[in-house]
Amino acid sequence: MALLTKAPGIESKFHIRIVSPEEVDQKLIAAWSDLEARAIEPNAFLSPYFVLPAIRHLEEDKHPLLVFVESNSGENPTLKGFAIFNVHRPSRKFPLQHLVLFSSIHSYLDGFLVDRTCAADVLHSIFSYISEPGHGWHGIRFKMNPLSDEQDTVATELGMKWKIRKTWQRAIMHPGSAEMVLENLSKSLKRNYQRYTRALQALGKLEWRMLQGRAVTPEMVSEFLRLEHMSWKGEGGTSLLSNPNQTEFFKEMVSGFNSEGRFYFTVLLLDEKPIAFTSNLISGSIGFGFKLCFDPAYAKYSPSIINLIEYCLHANDNLPGIDYVDSSASPGSYMESVWQDRRTLVDGYYSSTPVGRAALSIAAAARSAKRLIH
């Protein structure tokens, strides 16, 4: 059953509603998706079309903590914020019970969905709820978060203390002119792109397309899964097609995002046959890369690189209203050679109690001492 609680300190504006995944109905999904479009920090990995399939098909914890922040506006409250957590037992890094922001094996960004028109108040509601002593939680783990100034300001005002573990840069792409894209490529990458493109054109009709809406057919989804499975991921048992649960997750996620026109493939075709894909999600004004793959039979022509460069060349025309696309790539990925811009992400903890602050400091000191000894 949904649990209603007041948002401490701002009772007149908001209340907190705790909902189990089984209680999420179509009305709440619609409100959740609408909030996603208004969020100050767009995040496709917090969309209902990502979170709910992930809980159903990927997560061992089938009962994460879903926190909805709603306005106190009579019979029809408006959804203003959303957060999802897993409750974690004490660990070496944080030796007390704490919360960890939801992050499935296919998530590439965590955080909160917060209405941009009242962001500070909504963040205050979420952090205040977390900090209530009756819960027994002593902090929050962020694994891959942009850590906005507004988020940090609110947390600090409530007495939380941030302990960073690491920070890194991730490749992103701002849609721009074709001339700008080609100018930003290194000489060797530009030369290889042109050479491999000519070589593929000699084999047949080479085309690049962006597929969205009705063009994202079940057959095209199956072809993407087939190509991804043909790669080293299939050999290592990590492809989406290697596990029935992951296959169902992907199909359900694609269907949900595509129902709102927020999923797209980019595909490189040779004589109408796909030889390279990217799969992508849209949240608000931001695009998010999900998975990419290519046909290993054409590996010597670097079809993924060609696909990514063509993606950049056509982004300005094909992605109206998109500020940038987050690659979701790990540091050191070859995408960094193609997508030149970066965003900063962090991994760390907010301690929410005095005991939590002491525990984090002691754990950090112990790790430092261990490194000195060894």
Strands 324-326 and 286-294: parallel
Distance CA(280)–CA(252), nearest Å, equals 14
Average pLDDT value for residue range 10-26:
88
The rounded distance, in Å, linking the Cα atoms of 343 and 86 is 26
Report the DSSP beta bridge partners of residue 3.
18
CA distances 38 to 44, 109, 117, 284, Å, are 12, 17, 8, 7
* pLDDT value for 1: 45
Evaluate the CA torsion angle 105, 110, 221, 195 in order and state its sign.
Answer: negative
Q: How far apart are CA 208 and CA 210, in angstroms?
A: 7
- Does residue 364 register a pLDDT over 90? no
CA distance 298 to 267: 14
Neighbours of 184 (CB within 10 A): 15
Q: Which two tokens stand for residue 6?
A: 């007041």
Entry field: residues in the chain: 374
User: How far is it, in rounded angstroms, from Cα 21 to Cα 5?
Assistant: 18
Each residue of 303-328: pLDDT tens digit? 999 999 999 999 999 999 999 999 99
Domains of the chain: 3-166+347-373 (3.40.630.30), 175-322 (3.40.630.30)
Terminal CA-CA length for the chain = 51
Q: What is the pLDDT of residue 374?
A: 56
Neighbouring C-beta atoms of residue 186, cutoff 10 Å: 11
76: pLDDT confidence band, cut at 50, 70 and 90? confident
Helix, strand, or coil (residue 155): helix
pLDDT at 12: 63
pLDDT score, position 373: 65
**Cα angle 183, 289, 62; round to 5:** 165
- Cross-strand partners of 341: 172
Q: How far is CA 360 from CA 80, 103, 111, 137, 363, in A?
A: 31, 21, 21, 13, 5
Contact predicate 228/265, CB 8 Å: no
At 30, the pLDDT band (50, 70, 90 cuts) reads very high
Q: Say if strands 341-351 and 139-145 run parallel, antiparallel, or are unpaired.
A: antiparallel
d(Cα 265, Cα 277) in Å, to the nearest integer? 7
C-alpha–C-alpha distance, residues 4 and 23, integer Å: 14
State the average pLDDT for the chain. Answer: 93
pLDDT at 57: 97
pLDDT at 9 over 70: no
- Which residues, other chains included, contact 114 with Cβ-Cβ below 8 Å and sequence gap of 6+? 39, 40, 41, 80, 81, 122, 123, 126
Query: Which sign does the torsion angle of CA 39, 42, 48, 52 carry?
Result: negative
pLDDT at 10: 52
| pLDDT tens track for 117-161 | 999 999 999 999 999 999 999 999 999 999 899 999 999 999 999
**Of 200-204, 206-210, 284-288, 316-320, where does mean pLDDT reach its minimum?**
316-320
**Which helix (H) or strand (E) covers residue 50, if one does?**
helix 48-57
108 vs 74: which has the higher pLDDT: 108
Average pLDDT estimate for 41-51: 99
Render pLDDT for 223-273 as a digit per residue (tens, 0 to 9): 999 999 998 899 999 999 999 999 999 999 999 999 999 999 999 999 999
| 3-class state of residue 144 by DSSP | strand
Residue 227 is encoded by which pair of tokens? Answer: 């190509």
Give strand pairing partners of 325. 173, 287
